[in-house]
Amino acid sequence: MALAVREKHVARPVLQLTQDESEALWELSKNVVALLGRSRSFDLSEFLPDVPAQLRSALVDFREGTSNSGYLLVKGVATGELPDTPLAYGTQALVGHATDGTLALVGDVLGSLIGYADEKNGDLFHDVHPVRGEEDRMENSGSVAFDFHTENVHHPLRPDFLGLLSLRQGHETDTATRVASIRHAVAHLSEAENDVLRRLGFRSLFPTSFTRGGAGERPATAEHRVLFGNPGCEFLRFDSFNTRPAGFEAEQALEALAEALEAVCVEVVLEPGDLMLVNNHIAAHGRSAFTPRYDGRDRWLRRFYSHRAVPGWARLMMPSERVLPATGDIQGVF
């Protein structure tokens, strides 16, 4: 595992599971996946106390949002036997695989494992791998460089956390997952740039993963802030590909933000069994480019989202227990 840190003060939060912890988590995951089946309604409360204590403690600390780095890397997660890396989009090649159980457990310790009604049919687990013909897409099927973004920037109920579990590293051993904390980046912004980013001067297009098959231009949000929160406790809502400025001043501020995030970027080369957890309000993330071969051995990650507290009104609108309402149904609520 290689880390490239551009600033010495950036923390390197890494948790290495012992062999015993990894095996215990894998056995627990197999029990959990038997419960999951194909249902999106399940209660894991009886299993959560059995998550290895060191891991559970680290997850509980991370979910409080006090980590200024905005990420936690867990190493040594078992992944079991795997088929070839899928070649097509949305194959669900690992439905029923024990990694479903692992991600569900981690997601529920952090908050509640969730999906989105208008993304991937509400799936709770997403396979991240290249798809032929989609190399340039800014989503999990692409292979070009993916610039900094917070996940689901357009949605009123953006995930609090996301996880990326590495199953297969791929042919290139230097493909990096890139993470940058707004709490480190603000030091590289001027007072004026900070002020502009805190104004209602930005709109974000719906990501292409939410508009597949749709005709016409992608919809956009109402104006929103990119930076918010008290000094020293900043939060970020930004997608370099989808967030658009309302004017020249806002455009300049976005450019400064991109440069600031780059200045504090941490690059992590994920090895099989590495689980990268990101606080979606503190850290933006991205990916360096790679060249797929479509031979069954390409890079393959699994992704999940977790939300700490879905409002009661939104729960009453959810199509199933763990799937958040379609964006169009709640757009403009806040």
Q: pLDDT by residue (tens digit) across 13-51?
A: 999 999 999 999 999 999 999 888 756 679 999 999 999
- Domain span at residue 36 reads 3-324
Give the total number of structural domains in the chain.
1
Instruction: Give CA 265 to chain center in angstroms.
Output: 16
In a domain, 329, yes or no: no
d(CA 283, CA 68): 9
CATH of the domain at 58: 3.60.130.10
In a domain, 62, yes or no: yes
In a domain, 103, yes or no: yes
pLDDT score of 225 = 97
In a domain, 332, yes or no: no
In a domain, 186, yes or no: yes
pLDDT at 222 over 80: yes
Decide: residue 133, CB within 10 A, 0-12 exposed, 13-18 middle, 19+ buried. exposed
Q: pLDDT by residue (tens digit) across 48-89?
A: 999 999 999 999 999 998 889 999 999 999 999 999 999 998
In a domain, 235, yes or no: yes
In a domain, 112, yes or no: yes
Reference 258, options 144, 148, 139, 138; nearest CA is 148
Could you tell me which residues come within 8 angstroms of residue 140 by beta carbon, excluding any fewer than 6 positions away?
126, 127, 128, 129, 209, 301, 303
Q: pLDDT by residue (tens digit) across 119-165?
A: 999 999 999 999 999 888 888 888 888 899 999 999 999 999 999 99
pTM of full prediction above 0.75: yes
